A and B are shown apart, each in its own frame.
Chain A
Amino acid sequence: MGLQPACFGRFWEHCKDVNTTMVLQQLVFSYSEDFNNLANWWLSEGAGRFGIRDAGRCVVSWPDDEGDTALSDISEPIIHRNGSQLGELFVTQLSDPALQEKLKTDADFVARLASLDGELDLLAQELVESQDQLVALYGLMHSAHHLVSIDEIVNRLTEVIEPLFEARTAFMVLQLPERPSIVAQSGESLAHDVLSDLVFSTLERTDYLLINDRANSPAESLDQLETVLAIPMSIRGEKSAVLGLVNNTAGPFQSPTIKLLRAISDFAVSRIESALMYEAHLQQMKQQTRLQTEMELAHDVQMSLMPQTLPQISNLEIATFAQPALSVGGDFYDYFIHDNDIFYFTLGDISGKGMSAALLMAMTRTTMRNTARLLNEPSPKAILDHVTDSLYDDFTEVGMFCTIFTGLYDATSGKLAYVNGGHSPVIFRRAGGHAHLIDATGPPLCVLPQHLAYEDQLHLAPGDLLIVATDGFNEARNGAGEMFDYERLLDLVDALADQSAQNIADRLVTAVAQFSEGQPQDDDQTIIVIKRNEHE
C-alpha cells in the first residue's frame, strides 16, 4: 500500500503522543494471528520466548509468562521507514547469527503492519473528521438559508467556515461590478496587501491556489504565509470572488480539505447568486409598484380629462362611458356647451394603446377643445383642419393617427353638423326606423398633412338616436375568436331604441362584456349615446 510521508508523519506524532506501548499492544491485538504465527515459528525453532519490548519493558511475549526480558539472546529494533523506533522484537535461548537475519525480517514485517495500522487509523480519523465537517457544513447551509443580503452571506459564511478547518485564517473577498468589494476575515487577520495579493493570485487560477511550501509562493508578500489554500469563485460566469484558508495548523493542506473547501465555495456561489437574483427581483417589484402607482395616477388624470358631469341641453339625453384596456388608453370623448344651445362633442380613438396613445389623446383632446372655443365661427370641419395643422407633425413622428367624430348640435334647429374622420362605429337610428352605420366623411386625423374630410349634416328629430362608439365594441372577441361585429351592435341598438340614453349605453357595455367574458379586454371602449327627447 502506497503511503504518503505526510500521513506517516502525522501518524508517528500521534503514536508518540499516545504512548508507544499502547500502540504496540493495539497492534498485537489487531494482528494477533500474524503475531501468533511469528511466535509459533520461533518457539518451534527452539526459542524460549518471543516477544516485543519497549524501553526495556516487555509489552507482550509468547509464552505469556513473566520471564526476565533481560535474558534475551537476540533482539531487533522495529524501525519505521522514517527512522524512528517502535520498540523491538526479542527472542531468548537462540543465538544463531542466521536467525538474527530472520528476526530482522520479522521486525520489518511488524513495522509494515504498524504503518498499515497507522494509515487505517488515519483514514478512520479522517472519516470521523469529515463526518464532523459534514455536520458542520449542514449547519452552515441551514444557517445560511435565512441570509438574504450579500454582505451577510459573505461575512457569516466566513465566520462559520473558520472553525470547520484547522487554519488560522479564513477569508472571503467578493468583487462584483459596480459594487464596493466585500472583505470578510475570520481568525487571525491578514494585512491588506497580503489579502489583495492572495485574491489577485487566486483569480488567475482556474482551479485553486495551493501553497504548501513557501518556495512556491507567487508573490513576495505571500512569503510570510506558511500555507495557503484559496479557491476562485465565478459569480454569474465572472470570476469575482475568492474563498481561502491561510496557515493550516495541521501541516500542509490535503486533498480532503481542498474538496470540502470547494464544496463550500460552490455553496457560497449559489447563495450569492440567489441573493443577487432576489435583489433584482425586489428592485423590479419596487419599480413595478412605482410604475403601477404612476399608471393609476395617470388613469385618474386621464379620466378627469373627460367631462365628469353630463351636459344639460334642452332637448337631448346624453350618456357616456369610457373604459381603457390598460390603465390608460387612446380613446377619449369631450363636450361642452358653446353659446347657449350649441353643443360641441367629439369622440376619438388614437391608434395603439397604453401610455403612448394616452399622451397623444391628452394632447388631441386639449387642442380640439381650445380650437373649438377660440374659433370665431366654429364648425367641425374648421376645428379639425386647425387641429391637423397643429398635430400632424407630432403624430407623424410616432407613426400614429386618430379616428375622430366631431359634431356641433344646434338645439334650436335640431341640426347636427359633423365630420367623421375615419371613425366607426357611428350608428344612427331614426325614431321607428332601423339602426345603420354612418360612413366616414374623410380619413382619420393626421394621416395626411391636410384633412380631406368634408362636413355633413343630420337633422335630429324627436326619438332619433345617435351612438358614437370606438372599435373596442364591434371588435370585442369571444373565446372562439369571433368578433362582436357591427351586425350584433345594430340589432342591439334596434332592440334598445325605446330606452333612455343611459340604459342604452349600459346595456351595450354589458352585452359586449358578456360576449367577451373571460377574454382580456383587447381595446379601449368608449361610447357616447345621444338621444333627442321624444316628448318635448
Chain B
Amino acid sequence: MSNLQITEHTKRISVLTFTDRLDAFNAPDARQQITDQMEAGAVNFVVDISQVTFMDSAGIAVLVNLLKKVTQANGAMKLVRPAHASAMRLLRMTKFDQVFKMFGTVDEAVNAF
C-alpha cells in the first residue's frame, strides 16, 4: 500500500488580447466579452494590451471595471504592458501603473498566478 496521494491542480486563466485600440468605440464590446467570460466562471484574467496603440479614459475604465470585478470574486488580473508609448504614457500619467500588476509578456503574466 502506497501512502502517496497525487492530486493535480490546474488554474483556469483567461487571456484577453486587445489589439489596435481600446477606447470609447470598442469599450462596450470589451465590457460585454468580460461579462460573458465571468458569467462562464472565469475569475483570473491576463489582459494583453501590448499591441494596443491607442487607449483613452473609456478604455482604462474597462480595465478598472475588470479589476474590481475579479477582486470581488477573489480572482486576479494581470496586465501585459503596452509596447506603444502613447498607451503607456496614459497609464503612467494617470498612475494606473500603480494599480495594475504589469508584465512584459503573456507567459510572464500567466506564470505570476
Contact of B61 among A351, A396, A453 (CB under 8 A): A351
User: In the complex the two chains form, is B56's CB within 8 Å of A475's CB?
Assistant: yes
User: In the complex the two chains form, is A440's CB within 8 Å of B65's CB?
Assistant: no
Per the bound structure, the CA–CA distance linking A396 and B65 in Å amounts to 8
Q: Does A522 contact B (CB under 8 A)?
A: yes
9-residue interface stretch from A202-210, A227-235, A378-386, A443-451: A443-451
Min C-beta distance of A410 to chain B, whole Å: 25
Measured CB to CB, the nearest residue on chain B to A471 is B57
Known: A351-B64, A399-B64, A522-B24. A475 touches B95 (CB 8 A): no
Min C-beta distance of B97 to chain A, whole Å: 9
9-residue interface stretch from B2-10, B43-51, B66-74: B66-74
Q: Does A531 contact B (CB under 8 A)?
A: no
User: In the complex the two chains form, is B61's CB within 8 Å of A422's CB?
Assistant: no
Main secondary structure of the interface of A (DSSP, over half): loop
Per the bound structure, the CA–CA distance linking A522 and B24 in Å amounts to 9
Min C-beta distance of A438 to chain B, whole Å: 9
Per the bound structure, the CA–CA distance linking A442 and B58 in Å amounts to 19
Min C-beta distance of A326 to chain B, whole Å: 14
Q: Does A439 contact B (CB under 8 A)?
A: yes
Q: Mark A324-365, 1 if CB is under 8 A from B, else 0.
A: 000000000000000000000000010110000000000000
Min C-beta distance of B67 to chain A, whole Å: 7
B56 proximity list for chain A (CB < 8 A): 471, 475
Chain A interface residue number, banded: 20 to 34
Q: Does B112 contact A (CB under 8 A)?
A: no
Q: Does B96 contact A (CB under 8 A)?
A: yes
Known: A396-B72, A448-B99. A443 touches B94 (CB 8 A): yes
Q: Mark B77-102, 1 if CB is under 8 A from A, else 0.
A: 00000000000001011111011000
- Give the 9 A-B CB pairs with smallest separation, nearest first: A422-B94, A399-B65, A351-B61, A440-B95, A443-B95, A443-B99, A396-B68, A471-B57, A442-B95
Min C-beta distance of B5 to chain A, whole Å: 39
Chain B residues in the interface with A (C-beta under 8 A): 24, 56-58, 60-61, 64-65, 67-69, 72, 90, 92-96, 98-99
Min C-beta distance of B47 to chain A, whole Å: 15
Min C-beta distance of B74 to chain A, whole Å: 14
User: In the complex the two chains form, is A439's CB within 8 Å of B93's CB?
Assistant: yes
Main secondary structure of the interface of B (DSSP, over half): helix
Measured CB to CB, the nearest residue on chain B to A454 is B95
Min C-beta distance of B3 to chain A, whole Å: 44
What would be 15 A-B contacts, judged by CB atoms less than 8 Å apart? A349-B57, A396-B72, A399-B64, A399-B65, A403-B94, A422-B94, A423-B94, A424-B90, A439-B93, A443-B94, A444-B94, A447-B68, A448-B99, A452-B95, A475-B57
B64 proximity list for chain A (CB < 8 A): 351, 399-401, 444, 447
Per the bound structure, the CA–CA distance linking A400 and B58 in Å amounts to 11
Q: Does A155 contact B (CB under 8 A)?
A: no
Q: Does A441 contact B (CB under 8 A)?
A: yes
Q: Does A113 contact B (CB under 8 A)?
A: no
User: In the complex the two chains form, is A437's CB within 8 Å of B93's CB?
Assistant: yes
Q: Mark A413-426, 1 if CB is under 8 A from B, else 0.
A: 00000000111100
Min C-beta distance of A334 to chain B, whole Å: 20
Per the bound structure, the CA–CA distance linking A263 and B98 in Å amounts to 73
Per the bound structure, the CA–CA distance linking A423 and B95 in Å amounts to 9
Per the bound structure, the CA–CA distance linking A416 and B64 in Å amounts to 30
| Residue picked from B90, B92, B98, most chain A C-beta under 10 Å | B98
Known: A401-B61, A475-B56, A475-B57. A453 touches B69 (CB 8 A): no
A351 proximity list for chain B (CB < 8 A): 57-58, 60-61, 64
Min C-beta distance of B43 to chain A, whole Å: 15
Measured CB to CB, the nearest residue on chain A to B23 is A475
Per the bound structure, the CA–CA distance linking A471 and B24 in Å amounts to 12
Chain A residues in the interface with B (C-beta under 8 A): 349, 351-352, 396, 399-401, 403, 421-424, 437, 439-444, 447-448, 452-453, 471, 475, 522-523
Known: A352-B61, A471-B56, A471-B57. A443 touches B98 (CB 8 A): yes
Known: A452-B98, A471-B57, A522-B24. A399 touches B93 (CB 8 A): no
Min C-beta distance of B24 to chain A, whole Å: 6
Per the bound structure, the CA–CA distance linking A448 and B98 in Å amounts to 10
User: In the complex the two chains form, is A440's CB within 8 Å of B99's CB?
Assistant: no
Measured CB to CB, the nearest residue on chain B to A441 is B95
Per the bound structure, the CA–CA distance linking A502 and B5 in Å amounts to 76
User: In the complex the two chains form, is B93's CB within 8 Å of A424's CB?
Assistant: yes
Per the bound structure, the CA–CA distance linking A475 and B64 in Å amounts to 19
A522 proximity list for chain B (CB < 8 A): 24
B57 proximity list for chain A (CB < 8 A): 349, 351, 403, 471, 475, 523
A453 proximity list for chain B (CB < 8 A): 95
B98 proximity list for chain A (CB < 8 A): 442-443, 452
User: In the complex the two chains form, is A440's CB within 8 Å of B94's CB?
Assistant: yes
Per the bound structure, the CA–CA distance linking A349 and B94 in Å amounts to 12
Per the bound structure, the CA–CA distance linking A511 and B69 in Å amounts to 39
Min C-beta distance of B95 to chain A, whole Å: 4
Min C-beta distance of B64 to chain A, whole Å: 5
B93 proximity list for chain A (CB < 8 A): 424, 437, 439-440
Min C-beta distance of A517 to chain B, whole Å: 19
Per the bound structure, the CA–CA distance linking A421 and B96 in Å amounts to 10
Per the bound structure, the CA–CA distance linking A471 and B94 in Å amounts to 12
Min C-beta distance of A123 to chain B, whole Å: 66
| Residue picked from A448, A452, A453, most chain B C-beta under 10 Å | A448
